[in-house]
Amino acid sequence: MRLPLALAALAGGWLAAAPAAAQVTPPSLALPIQCRPGVDCEIQNYVDRDPGPGVLDYQCGSRTYQAHTGIDFRVPTLARQRQGVAVLAAADGRVLRLRDGVADISVRITGREALEGRDCGNGVLLLHEGGFTTQYCHLANGSIAVKPDDEVKAGHVLGRVGLSGRTEYPHLHFTVRSGQALVDPFAYGAPEGSCQGGRSLWRPELQEALAYKARIVLNAGFAAQAPLTMAAIEEGPDAPTPDAPALLAYARGIGLKAGDVQTVTLKGPDGALLAANTTPPLPRDQAQNMVFTGAARPAGGWVRGRYVGEYVVRQGGQVVLSRSFETRL
């Protein structure tokens, strides 16, 4: 499975000291990020198992992108990332390499050329028993809490989730290798190019939390300003108040598919529909997509009480994803 050129060069340098793994038992992996999957973090991308120009995740889906070499654990917003989300050693091991000092700036601002050879951003490489390694990328500048040759236990804090390297959103890129061969921690032992095979390396207590989801609601909530942008959601939009000039309900989905139709609605305390927005079918698979609807403050002001938003995704007329959420004014 190929790596992007700059990342391959980086990994090659980092992995030069890692011995090739023999036929040994791979590590049992703990969660490498201090969060609750499905609650305050989600998997954005899986390993791309297709050795060619296509994409294929371990469940035969498209929750990845071409030549992606790891698992992306995404925190929901930049605001949450700035509060501090720890990156943790997934297994006992020794620190082989690390990098710090790369600024936490989106690649959309820096451009890819400025990150040549530093795609991983700030990161740590651990060596485990049997020649396995785990790599932790996009850590926050100045957050790395280990040094080369440190011995660490599973759960040891390595640093914090950041926005360094080639990334547009805060997340941990987590890669497992055996020697220099890429390992999919959801499909260990499966032949390259295959799906729905192999076995999971995650600890038994993580299996339910890390169960595969074809689509996910990353964010859903309310805002008081319009128009609402993706950047505003990342920063945390202003919460609506009883005298807010507008009330918007929004949702952001990830892993959406071509043909998906999204609808978001806003209902008032009496259950009456205040606003609705239905999008055209998506023309292609999308890593993320945001939709919102809303209403201006009525002349008499907002009625006090419970306001309900609902986000529904349909494929071929069938509901494939939904989320209800509420606020009180």
Question: Per-residue pLDDT tens for 198-249?
Answer: 999 999 999 999 999 999 999 999 999 877 888 888 888 888 999 999 999 9
User: In 3-state terms, what secondary structure has residue 1?
Assistant: coil
CA–CA separation, 164 and 158 (whole Å): 15
| Residue-range domain boundaries for the chain | 5-206, 216-328
As beta bridge partners, residue 184 has none
Give the fold, CATH level 3, of 5-206: Glucose Permease (Domain IIA) (2.70.70)
Cis peptide before 283 (omega within 30 of 0): no
Question: Per-residue pLDDT tens for 84-111?
Answer: 999 999 999 999 999 999 999 887 777 7
> Average pLDDT, stretch 258-271?
97
Question: Would you say residue 14 has pLDDT above 60?
Answer: no
Which residues fall within 8 angstroms of residue 309, CB to CB, at 6 or more apart? 220, 221, 222, 249, 250, 251, 264, 265, 266, 267, 324, 325, 326, 327
Cβ atoms within 10 A of the Cβ of 13, count? 12
Q: If residue 233 lies in a helix (H) or strand (E), which one and from where to where?
A: helix 230-235
Alpha helices in 39-178 (DSSP H): 78-83, 107-110
Structural contact between residues 13 and 51, judged by C-beta atoms closer than 8 angstroms: no
As beta bridge partners, residue 133 has 127, 177
Question: Per-residue pLDDT tens for 182-200?
Answer: 999 999 999 999 999 999 9
> Average pLDDT, stretch 137-164?
97
| 216-328 CATH | 2.60.40.2550
